[in-house]
Amino acid sequence: MAQLTYREAVARGIAQEMARDENVVLLGEDVAKAGGVFKATVGLFEQFGPKRVLDTPISEQAILGAAMGAAMTGLKPIAEIMFADFLGVCYDYIANEFPKTRYMTNGQVSCPLVVRCGNGGGARFGAQHSQSVENWCMQFPGLKVVSPSSPVDVIGLLAAAVRDPDPVVFLEHKSLYAVRGEVPDGEILDTLGTAKILRPGGDASILALGMMVPRSLQAAEALQERHGISCEVIDVRSLVPLDTQCILGSVARTGRVFTVEENPRQLGWGSELVSIIADEAFYDLDGPAVRITTPNIPLPAADALEDLAIPSVDRIVEMIRRSLTA
């Protein structure tokens, strides 16, 4: 058992899959000798060489275009888009090309690739470099969307994404890169489409993703200690495919549900989950589903304003307490 940071887990996960399969290649801006702008690919160039770890020009369209061509001809590329916000620069591939390849070729051509991105706020990068874009990606049939919150999940879900026959957007939270966690020795392989119950509880279900997972766990502890409210915390992990069985089972046990979302409120991922819960578990609910979100605003760069916009532990605690005791 080792203690790894989230960023070290990214490098270990990529190395695990590159060592296992010679068709896995890594490409992106500064991913080779520099080890990535977030230092999440350190050591891979030295281990696997320039034919498998490739620096690219500063062109998101070129990165994803090359990755798509490589995937269609037998390789398994891992393409890094440095900031998830920059998916907007190459959105045609995300929206129109990757997800539709298998369908439009009647299964003759697949597109087994992973797009890694630094996602989310909290690091004072401003409105164009701090967005949580998981809701941008989850709307396209054929595209899978994953966002791990711990080092061990980074490795296991990355391995599952690389081995999947379809394109996966893998969202790494920038503010979690320095977080440490225990990681077992040996190969780690997880399953896409599975959520994790990180904390059992009986009064309410909290559904969270990315950086909101540790904040939700802290909020659940505070709610128990201060108010005697027992919350079950679920790390959604995978938005597409979605573990509806885990989520609906939790709602049936607790009768109340709260989503904690970093992406803006308008059309956030929680709106889809709440819609599913309303359709399939309405009579299990003892009160309305509540979404705790970032407002529908460009994210500020100023530290106090960014902290005010993104759901904090205190805001999560207060909204859940107020909803359950009203």
Give yes or no: residues 245 and 267 share one domain: yes
190 lies in some domain: no
Segment 230-263, tens digit of pLDDT: 999 999 999 999 999 999 999 999 999 999 999 9
Give yes or no: residues 126 and 255 share one domain: no
Domain encompassing residue 262: 196-325
Segment 135-175, tens digit of pLDDT: 999 999 999 999 999 999 999 999 999 999 999 999 999 99
Segment 55-111, tens digit of pLDDT: 999 999 999 999 999 999 999 999 999 999 999 999 999 999 999 999 999 999 999
Give yes or no: residues 276 and 221 share one domain: yes
Domain boundary among 162, 183, 204: 183
Give yes or no: residues 174 and 237 share one domain: no
Domain of residue 177, CATH code: 3.40.50.970
Question: Is the CB of residue 5 less than 8 Å from the CB of residue 180?
Answer: yes
Question: Is the CB of residue 192 less than 8 Å from the CB of residue 144?
Answer: yes
Give yes or no: residues 251 and 156 share one domain: no
Q: Please tell me the total count of domains within the chain.
A: 2
- Please give the mean pLDDT across all residues of the chain: 97
Catalytic machinery residues: 129
16 lies in some domain: yes
End-to-end CA distance of the chain: 45
Give yes or no: residues 100 and 210 share one domain: no
Specify whether the backbone of 68 is left (phi greater than 0), alpha (psi in -120 to 50) or beta: alpha
Compute the distance between CA of residue 302 and CA of residue 9 in angstroms, rounded to an integer: 30
288 pLDDT above the threshold of 90: yes
Give yes or no: residues 201 and 320 share one domain: yes
126 pLDDT above the threshold of 80: yes
